[in-house]
Amino acid sequence: MAESNHLSPGWNLPAGEALLQDVFGIVMEEIVRKGTDASEKVCEWKEPEELKKLLDLELRSHGEKQEQILDRCRTIIQYSVKTCHPRFFNQLFSGLEPHALAGRIITETLNTSQYTYEIAPVFVLMEEEVLKKLRALVGWSSGDGVFCPGGSISNMCALNLARYQRYPDCKQRGLRALPPLAIFTTQESHYSLQKGAAFLGMGTDSIRLVKADERGKMIPEDLEKQINQAEAEGAVPLFVSATSGTTVLGAFDPLEAIANVCQQHGLWLHVDAAWGGSVLLSQTHRHLLDGIERADSVCWNPHKLLATGLQCSALLLRDTSNLMKQCHGAQATYLFQQDKFYDVSLDTGDKVIQCGRRVDCLKLWLMWKAVGGSALEQRVDWAFTLTRQSM
Amino acid sequence: MAESNHLSPGWNLPAGEALLQDVFGIVMEEIVRKGTDASEKVCEWKEPEELKKLLDLELRSHGEKQEQILDRCRTIIQYSVKTCHPRFFNQLFSGLEPHALAGRIITETLNTSQYTYEIAPVFVLMEEEVLKKLRALVGWSSGDGVFCPGGSISNMCALNLARYQRYPDCKQRGLRALPPLAIFTTQESHYSLQKGAAFLGMGTDSIRLVKADERGKMIPEDLEKQINQAEAEGAVPLFVSATSGTTVLGAFDPLEAIANVCQQHGLWLHVDAAWGGSVLLSQTHRHLLDGIERADSVCWNPHKLLATGLQCSALLLRDTSNLMKQCHGAQATYLFQQDKFYDVSLDTGDKVIQCGRRVDCLKLWLMWKAVGGSALEQRVDWAFTLTRQSM
């Protein structure tokens, strides 16, 4: 690190470098080694009041010595949950993938935003390649996509794209210019659809719950029935959200049959494959998602089954008409100038609802390069093997 | 790292540890040292086609040797923009804060989600404390808040909260049950308000542009006029978005006068202080935000002026009635059980539109602990000094 700093007086840069070295050592010892050791605890549990005292959270006007900061890092790690621990089973993610973590450390240190080629040349091209690969696994040789801040927002964006495709006017004139719209999903689907319907101004009432069978899978005949009923009640059926890998039961909705219904009625088919999308890597198990290539949009979170680390959520589109940029774009002239010295169609900022956007592709790309698609397939197959052994 | 791994067969863990050590070494040399050295380039620019060849982005079924992966890491860094470089001035963020980066490396390695106390005990309490501190700087001794994935989504959430507060029915019944709503901001404000009005189903037509003066500041008399005109046209004035630090000119809207107008008409006052919020740390310059304590909501991104790294965007609320959870909650029973063994009011998942949510508080907390609020104040003052020297 250079000796002087342009940003601020009194910044001690050699000390900063030493801090980073020391913190990395602590991370390796206390998380990477101990956190993955089955003989250590998953979490040293404390009640909130006691934990507050142990952490001394208050932010003051004076700073602290480096040794004290290092102690704080150790304390933070000590009382945090080790999601990389062999006995951590709380959520739909776990484990520690060293190549993905390496990608994340590079991402954090480079600290750039994904919106234009000029500020993120490597990552704009890399995101494009990673999304192309994920689309190929879905069964699409063309299409569009982007990484979103989590599956909930991916699902919301899919809903917004479906709405815009049917009613482009909505972007400018709003929902008041539209007929009431109907969304279809099962009780087993993720609650982000409820949140999305509310956030997008459609209201949770616009969601019609389709029956699921005893294994949690959508019943296509009931979808047909619900669509007819919505129409009879004066609503316009718009969007079906099928799930590949439901949160609680891990059910895979029958996509072929659902796609038939959507095709017949002209509805947008979204597949929430946040958890189950990674099963597409497995020749043995990918039949669970047969028909996914007929979807209009797919949400797939490699941070779940592929353990790339939070957040890594791809929204994939079959569309080739530039729908994302038309729907989400705001053409901010100070950032997305049209007279740049490179092909501005590379800029991704108008595809998304954010402005600054984190780089979420490198961790997945680096892991894939390091272990290869065939090893990722083995990992997915192994997860299925473990599930069967525990049943 | 333990010798065996539960997640997958054939995972070579000692090699993973060695990889992390080597990648950290590369990061320190190529980004932290060279990237901050003014005699090195900010970016080694390549045209897209040439860069694609240099990166060999294709994802294949076979993996690669560790040495090749390390070479790839060096290449990625070589052709990426060094946002930490002393001559990087492209965006509203820059620099490299070693304490914040240390916090980010810990965050990435612990890899947890911020939604419940049981999965993120340290970070749930830490987020609360950091938000309390930011609120105190705004001038609030109580209130609510959360870290969002960027300022655009913070601004959208503020708009949704204002809408819900006025029309709680909207969450269930949607916008069709409501009168047309009007949003007020200037041409100088950030485009996320346009994106938000569209995404939230209100339509960009609901935004009414208030005139700004020659320095880019909102003219309160014109706000008054626009409100009256909206009412005359049958719309319900709902939301004013003032800006503290506009994107292009760095203008600070006159908040006291705007708050007077909002108070008189009963409108929600949001302050987009994504860039300018950090000026509240400066005794010398915080007068630019006089009146911010009268706002209903504030967006403040420490990843800009305070250089904590992307993403660190706080949405702060004056509300003490639990509006966030009521507005954004979906009460998913599998995740937010009400019969847990701790006080479930600590769980933050129902405050936000996401499900999984990154930990964004540690980098800011650790930096603050290390350097103290007084050094942060000096950094802000120094940024103003530099601006004046360059004018």
CA A189 – CA A248 distance, rounded (Å)? 9
Please tell me the predicted confidence (pLDDT) of residue B5.
Answer: 46
Q: How far is CA A184 from the centre of its chain?
A: 22
CA B368 – CA A317 distance, rounded (Å)? 42
Please tell me the predicted confidence (pLDDT) of residue B6.
Answer: 47
Nearest to A343 among B48, B177, B206 (CB): B48
Nearest to A365 among B59, B198, B343 (CB): B59
Please list, in sequence order, all residues whose beta carbon lies within 8 angstroms of the beta carbon of residue A77, skipping any fewer than 6 positions away.
A26, A27, A30, A31, A35, B106, B110
Please tell me the predicted confidence (pLDDT) of residue B11.
Answer: 59
Q: What phi and psi values does residue B146 have, to the nearest 5 degrees?
A: -170, 155
CA A258 – CA B219 distance, rounded (Å)? 54
Could you tell me the CA-to-CA distances from B363 to A127, B35, B303, B308 in Å, in that order?
26, 20, 10, 6
SS3 B271: strand
Please tell me the predicted confidence (pLDDT) of residue A2.
Answer: 39
Contact (CB<8Å) A382/B82 = no
What's the mean per-residue pLDDT of chain A? Answer: 94
Q: Which of A89-93, A277-281, B199-203 has the lowest mean pLDDT?
A: A89-93
Mean pLDDT of A69-79: 98
According to DSSP, residue B272 is labeled: E
Q: What are the tens digits of pLDDT across the range A234-263? A: 999 999 999 999 999 999 999 999 999 999
Please tell me the predicted confidence (pLDDT) of residue B390.
Answer: 67
Q: Which of A75-89, A131-145, B6-20, B244-258 has the lowest mean pLDDT?
A: B6-20
Nearest to B20 among A28, A199, A247 (CB): A28
The alpha carbon torsion through A347, A349, A352, A355 (nearest 10 deg) reads: 160
Could you tell me the CA-to-CA distances from B265 to B211, B323, B333 in Å, in that order?
18, 21, 40
CA A232 – CA A217 distance, rounded (Å)? 25
Contact (CB<8Å) B356/A310 = yes
Interface predicted TM-score (ipTM): 0.96
Contact B73, A38 (CB under 8 A): no
Q: What phi and psi values does residue B132 have, to the nearest 5 degrees?
A: -60, -40
Please tell me the predicted confidence (pLDDT) of residue B391.
Answer: 58
Report A:94-153 residues touching B (Cβ under 8 A): 94-96, 98-99, 101-102, 104-106, 108-113, 117-123, 125-126, 129-130, 133, 149-153
Q: Which residue of A has its CA nearest to B107?
A: A77
Q: Is the dihedral of CA B326, B329, B334, B335 positive or negative?
A: negative
Q: Helix/strand/coil (H, E, C) string of chain A?
A: CCCCCCCCCCCCHHHHHHHHHHHHHHHHHHHHHHHHCCCCCCCCCCCHHHHHHHHCCCCCCCCCCHHHHHHHHHHHHHCCCCCCCCCCCCCCCCCCCHHHHHHHHHHHHHCCCCCCCCCCHHHHHHHHHHHHHHHHHHCCCCCEEEEECCHHHHHHHHHHHHHHHHCCCHHHHCHHHCCCEEEEEECCCCCHHHHHHHHCCCCHHHEEEECECCCCCECHHHHHHHHHHHHHCCCEEEEEEEEECCCCCCCECCHHHHHHHHHHHCCEEEEECCCHHHHHHCCCCHHHHCCHHHCCEEEECCCCCCCCCCCCEEEEECCCCCHHHHHHCCCCCCCCCCCCCCCHHHCCHHHCCCCCCCCCCHHHHHHHHHHHHHHHHHHHHHHHHHHHHCC
CA A251 – CA A218 distance, rounded (Å)? 9
Contact (CB<8Å) B48/A172 = no
Burial class (CB in 10 A: 0-12, 13-18, 19+), B86: buried
Contact A147, A353 (CB under 8 A): no
Please tell me the predicted confidence (pLDDT) of residue B155.
Answer: 98
CA B220 – CA B261 distance, rounded (Å)? 7
Contact B283, B310 (CB under 8 A): no
Helices then strands (H, E): number in chain B? 12, 7
CA A123 – CA B81 distance, rounded (Å)? 10
Q: What phi and psi values does residue A138 have, to the nearest 5 degrees?
A: -70, -30
Per-residue pLDDT band for A6 (boundaries 50, 70, 90) equals very low
Contact A369, B63 (CB under 8 A): yes
Q: Which of A373, A82, A381, A34 has its CA nearest to residue B9?
A: A381
Please list, in sequence order, all residues whose beta carbon lies within 8 angstroms of the beta carbon of residue B345, skipping any fewer than 6 positions away.
none
Q: Is the backbone of residue A267 left (phi > 0), alpha (psi -120 to 50) or beta?
A: beta
Domain spans, chain B: 18-54+65-90, 129-334
Q: Are strands A207-210 and A268-272 parallel, antiparallel or unpaired?
A: unpaired
Q: Which residues of B320-331 are buried (b: 16+ CB within 10 A; e: fewer)?
A: eeebbbbbbbbe
User: Above 90 in pLDDT, residue A45?
Assistant: yes
Contact (CB<8Å) A192/B379 = no
Residue in the block written with tokens 């501190």: B133
For every residue of B336-383, DSSP letters joined together read: S-TT-SS-GGG--GGGSS-SS----SHHHHHHHHHHHHHHHHHHHHHH
Please tell me the predicted confidence (pLDDT) of residue A391.
Answer: 58
Please tell me the predicted confidence (pLDDT) of residue A5.
Answer: 45
Q: What is the CATH number of domain A129-334?
A: 3.40.640.10
Interface test with A, best of B7, B33, B40, B205 (most A CBs within 10 A): B7
> Mean pLDDT in each 10-residue stretch from start to end of chain B (391 residues)?
45 85 98 95 96 98 97 98 92 92 98 96 98 98 98 98 98 96 97 97 98 98 98 98 96 98 98 98 98 98 96 98 96 77 92 96 98 96 87 58
Kind plus residue range of the DSSP H or E element containing B210: strand B207-210
Interface test with A, best of B60, B355, B377, B384 (most A CBs within 10 A): B355
End-to-end CA distance of chain B: 54
Could you tell me the CA-to-CA distances from B375 to A8, A9, A347, B95, B249 in Å, in that order?
9, 9, 37, 16, 26
**Portion of chain A with pLDDT greater than 70, in percent:** 96
Contact A114, A148 (CB under 8 A): no
Contact (CB<8Å) B379/A23 = no
Report B:4-43 residues touching A (Cβ under 8 A): 5-10, 13, 15-17, 19-21, 23-24, 27-28, 31-33, 36-38, 43
Q: What is the pTM of this model?
A: 0.97
Contact (CB<8Å) A151/B355 = yes
Tell me how close the Cα of A248 comes to any Cα of chain B, in angstroms: 7
Q: Which of B290, B286, B304, B194 has its CA nearest to residue B247?
A: B304
Helix axes A13-27, A66-78, angle to 10 degrees: 20
Q: What phi and psi values does residue B207 have, to the nearest 5 degrees?
A: -90, 130
For chain B, say whether A194 makes contact (Cβ under 8 Å).
yes
Lookup: tokens for B56:
């060999």
CA B255 – CA B242 distance, rounded (Å)? 7
Upper half-sphere CA count for residue B350 (Cβ side, 13 Å): 19
